[in-house]
Structure 1
């Protein structure tokens, strides 16, 4: 969906340099997105206190979980677009974009309505602390209203990256962050003509930023006449093509379930954390803010590996795939390891940004990050390996691996050590689960048979689409993560 001046050919040139140059704008987008969440957390924590911060932690994990299925379909669409672009098949890429957009709009609207109605019940299932319940409900209901714009924006950005354009998503992520972070204090405190909405003001700022940025990005795509835009004669493509939708569903469902596994595990862990009170929940919340930054380089490299491998598979350049993966692992280790070391050295000033120097949650947050943060070095390797295997349609293997590490491994550590470690059993279960995930991901990459898997191109007709959907095999296991 990028013009030729912006769309990068990922099938030629030096691998390490090409991968890094493509990953950097994606990393920039991740930095901006995480910075946005952190700035909002600072506003909420400083203006409204620990109970409001705990409320946003409960609400945001639920939103992540509800968006998970849609993320899986978006990733499946991205891979199809990348392979089509690698073949030079613009029409197939447009068909994928049309089907994905039409489906996403409907799903996002339904999720927003259902989520708004069921928000109180969801929060009660989470055992949300009583003091945080009204704040979490006010925040969550407004956030649900922003969901259609959020999901469509994510889908469009993923499509752009699949086509080799990582710069355009960066600019419009910057616009969203600028609007959201600027409007947060305006609506929280009621500055100028704006009403004073408290915690709902933070969600209102997010909703406005998402809708404005989505419209601006669509205007830009059409004004620049990007090759993969849907033209007037292509609008019929917004009606989902059933064979293609089936293919996106077959591959996207396991990737969405992967996100469900991650988010449901996070919900379960949050339920355990909530039992230790609002102060511990607030400490856990700000630690998650720092974890978001630690994950960013590996997430960017993993996304770049997926796009780059997908285009090379589409072009038939299998000799480059293992070299792309190797470069991705090296970049992930170096970047994530550096961040872990820096955070270990400077954790106090980083955490004080959210809590202030005299908050009772500060020492708890420092303790959590010291025990658990190092595990993200291992998880970064996992993201790169998963990015490679899923680029050729192997989606069941990562799902099974994540389920094992998030439930049997993590819960096993928690229940085995809870009696003598107390809350530390919670924090220790995170890195141990990440190490287990990495070891299983290495096994999948080396021995999973994912090279024989198949991510089908956009189907030519319905019969071919049915055959491809039914014939696709998963030799790695008959088994992805805003992460």
Structure 2
């Protein structure tokens, strides 16, 4: 199997490319939906802004965090040549995805208005956000199932199928979402509800197709519903990585919220410039994510096969590739920031603020990519605590230094430099975590059934 014996860099790049394309398509959905919801008016656009962070959090939880735990467990089982364990884990992964989806569906349908109000939603904006969220989060079960089942496939080394499914779902959201949202052609104008409905239908179709693929007899890891007893050890094998990894998205969101609040104190133009500059990070994440997700099964299979040396080489290689690619982006926007910010505004004050941000944070982009990719690689090893703590270090730097700078009336440039410094801390801390954490494999204990 090339993932266990093939050359690391070519194999990594081959696996990463479909993931990068799929993530880029998901990013395009967000851009497209913002564009045509903006045509509905300011109220729908503001309402979408209230719901968007929670929708993104569901993706980060299900695809990047719990999804990494699923891929890690399955790839380690396959590396140890334990096909039965891998297929048992697939069932447990589907149950975890479905259960988490149901939990968050009930949570956001029942209490979504409370969360949107906490972000500042009021009046008609809050009412519109609540209506939009009521439809959107009906489909969160399908989102969790899609990403959980995709992670099963990735754990077996199949990156192309889940990426193709996500790309197809993204195209459907962009095209049909515009038709139902704006009432193009023969379609009714359903507004925000139409956009949300297409999201639900797209992910439902994706989840059903992935179920079909995994239940086929020729599946690399087959999903079996009968004759497979539920086992605590299997749930634990996934949750010990995926559950802990869920702290990382929470830290990322908290860091962004904190930085936004700190920059807002320095003026409207600085805040607008930061919003434009930081939007570039949405294009950086697919690169680091795509490479990192490809590293998870490569590391996991090597760990399962007892080849810790190869597992570490995969981790360092993936981190280096991500760092180099993001360094190129950082160099371009540092030298010519208006190439990016000029696409969003022509107001000189905002352009100047965006340039200050990009020149401060741009040189640190490779450290951001390095840290994020090593976070995924550590999931493959089953030892994710160190890289999660690296994210904690980033947050604490922003919190401690940011509050001190704010108390002393620091300029927006100082805040932007802090963003870059926190990225550097994140990357270095992730390197230290990988270096210090032992990755010696442990043989699975005899599973304890939950039910006969």
Deviation of 1:335 after TM superposition, in Å, equals 1.2
**Which residue matches 1:404?**
393
Q: Distance in 1 between matches of 2:278 and 2:179?
A: 25
Counterpart in the other structure of 2:51 = 59
CA drift of 1:154 comes to: 0.8
Residue 417 (str. 1) matches residue 410 (str. 2): no
Q: Distance in 2 between matches of 1:359 and 1:152?
A: 46
Confirm whether residue 235 of structure 1 aligns to residue 221 of structure 2: no
Q: Cα 1:218–1:462, aligned 2, differ >3 Å: closer, same or farther?
A: closer
Check whether the contact 2:330–2:364 (CA below 8 A) recurs between aligned residues. no
Residue 442 (1) aligns with residue 442 (2): no
Measure the CA separation in 1 of the matches of 2:414 and 2:424.
16
Question: Which residue does 2:325 correspond to in 1?
Answer: 335
**1:87 CA drift (Å):** 2.1
Distance, in Å, in 1 between the alignment partners of 2:431 and 2:392 is: 16
Matched ranges for 1:148-187 at <5 A: 148-187=141-180
Shift of 1:28: 1.8
Superposed CA deviations along residues 79-117 of structure 1, whole A, max 9, x for unmatched, are: 110011112221111110101101221220121121122
Task: Tell me whether 1:264 sits opposite 2:254 in the alignment.
Answer: yes
Question: Which residue pairs with 1:480 in the alignment?
Answer: none
Query: How many Å separate the matches in 1 of 2:163 and 2:48?
Result: 25
Q: 1:449: Cα distance to partner?
A: 3.2
| TM-score, L = length of structure 1 | 0.81
Give the superposition deviation at 1:167.
0.7
In the alignment, the residues of structure 2 paired with residue 281 and residue 187 of structure 1 have an alpha-carbon distance, to the nearest angstrom, of 33
8 Å CA contact 1:23–1:304 kept in 2: the answer is: yes
CA–CA separation in structure 1 for the residues paired with 2:40 and 2:280: 20
Residue of structure 2 equivalent to 1:470: none
Q: Separation in 2 of the partners of 1:148 and 1:277? A: 40
Secondary structure of 2:158's counterpart equals coil
Match of 1:41 in 2: 34
Equivalent pair of 1:61/1:266 in contact (CA under 8 Å): no
Give the one of 94, 98, 120 matched to 1:101. 94
Secondary structure at 1:11's aligned position in 2?
helix
In structure 2, which of residues 294, 301, 320 is the aligned counterpart of residue 304 of structure 1?
Answer: 294
On the 8 A contact 1:68/1:259 being kept in 2, the answer is yes
3-state SS of 2:4 partner? coil
Structure 1: how far apart are the matches of 2:192 and 2:25?
A: 22
Cα separation, partners in 2 of 1:370 and 1:136, compared to 1, 3 Å = farther
Q: How does 1:11-410 map to 2 (within 5 A)?
A: 11-45=4-38, 47-48=39-40, 52-66=44-58, 70=62, 72-128=65-121, 132-222=125-215, 225-231=218-224, 234-237=225-228, 240-270=230-260, 287-344=277-334, 348=338, 350=340, 355=344, 368-406=357-395, 408-410=396-398
Alpha-carbon distance between aligned partners in 1 of 2:446 and 2:41, rounded to the nearest angstrom = 56
Separation in structure 1 between the aligned mates of residue 26 and residue 193 of structure 2, nearest angstrom: 20
1:58 and 1:128 in contact (8 A); partners too: yes
Sort the Cα spacing of 1:246 and 1:389 in 2 relative to 1 into closer, same or farther, 3 A. Answer: closer
- Comparing 295-304 with 221-230, greater Cα deviation is found at 221-230
Residue ranges of structure 2 left out of the alignment (5+ in a row)? none
RMSD: 3.2
Q: What does the per-residue CA deviation read over 1:356-375, in whole Å, with 9 as the maximum and x for residues that have no partner?
A: 65799777656544443443
The Cα of 1:283 is off from its aligned counterpart by: 6.3
Matched, 1:430 2:411: no
Three-state SS of the structure 2 residue aligned to 1:188 is: helix
Task: Return closer, same or farther for 1:131/1:281 CA change in 2, 3 Å cut-off.
Answer: farther
1:481 aligned residue: none
Q: Shift of the alpha carbon at 1:53?
A: 4.4
Instruction: Judge conservation of contact 2:386–2:434 (CA < 8 Å) in 1.
Output: no
Alpha-carbon distance in structure 1 between the residues aligned to 2:131 and 2:277: 23
CA distance 1:278–1:170, change in 2 (3 Å): farther
Equivalent-residue separation in structure 2 for 1:425 and 1:116 (angstroms): 41
Q: Which moved more, 1:163-172 or 1:267-276?
A: 267-276
**1:59–1:136 contact (8 Å) kept in structure 2:** yes
Alpha-carbon contact 2:333-2:339 (below 8 Å) kept: no
Q: What secondary structure does 2:5 align onto?
A: coil
1:430 and 1:80 map into 2 onto residues whose CA distance is 34
Distance 2:60 2:10 in 1: 31
Counterpart of 1:420 in 2: which secondary structure?
A: coil
Instruction: Tell me the number of residue pairs that the alignment of Structure 1 and Structure 2 aligns.
Output: 448
Are the structure 2 counterparts of residues 141 and 345 from structure 1 closer, same or farther at C-alpha, using a change threshold of 3 Å? farther
Offset, 1:152: 0.8
* TM-score, normalising length: structure 2: 0.87
CA distance in 2, matches of 1:266, 1:158: 27
